[in-house]
Amino acid sequence: MKRESNILSTTAPLTETGMTIPEPTVFVVDDDAAICNALQWLIESVNLNVETYTSGHEFLETYVPGRPGCVVLDVRMPEMSGLDVQRELEARSIDLPVIILTGYGDMQTAIRAFKSGAVDFVQKPFNNQNLLDAIQRAVRKNVEVAQQNVFVAEVRQRLDLLSTGESE
């Protein structure tokens, strides 16, 4: 039985000019393929789009900025840790909510993750519903920001069309 997602729908035009935002996606980055598969099944059970990656490099090479959603990052991965991926997202000015997932939850790592902007820190083994709740909160907030950005872009577009006299 699939549970319905309560994330805002983004498949139809949001405004009269027809500007839309893509459907949100949950990006899962974990070097353990079994965890990726399990999380994909879990997240799809609430009708969210999911893309899985087994390395931070793979995710960063393929992510297209501006896609709404959130990223679930494993902390301990070879070559590039989840915290490294989080820092790289920030360096690239990618405002995608980050949920840190770890089997080795220590206070120092949690503090570093939150100081770098993580929206949640979840320890393995995790409670499925708690993780889904965290994901849905992160996606909902990111979609709302994307909708606000579309609105601002439309207002700017309309202001640019006004003549000098009309804009005063």
pLDDT at residue 156, as a whole number? 79
Angle at 13 between CA 153 and CA 168, to 5 degrees: 30
pLDDT in tens, 48-105: 999 999 999 999 999 998 899 999 999 999 999 999 999 999 999 999 999 999 888 7
Instruction: For residue 108, give every residue at least 6 positions away whose Cβ sits within 8 Å of its Cβ, in sequence order, or none.
Output: none
pTM: 0.82
Secondary element (H or E) of residue 27: strand 25-29
> What angle, rounded to 10 degrees, do the helices at 33-44 and 128-161 form?
70
Q: What angle do CA 9, 101, 79 make, to 5 degrees?
A: 115
**34 bridge partner residues:** none
Name the strand (E) or helix (H) holding 113.
Answer: helix 107-115
Q: How many C-beta neighbours within 10 Å does residue 135 have? A: 29
Confidence at residue 1, expressed as pLDDT on a 0 to 100 scale = 34
Backbone dihedral angles phi then psi of residue 107, each to the nearest 5 degrees? -60, -40
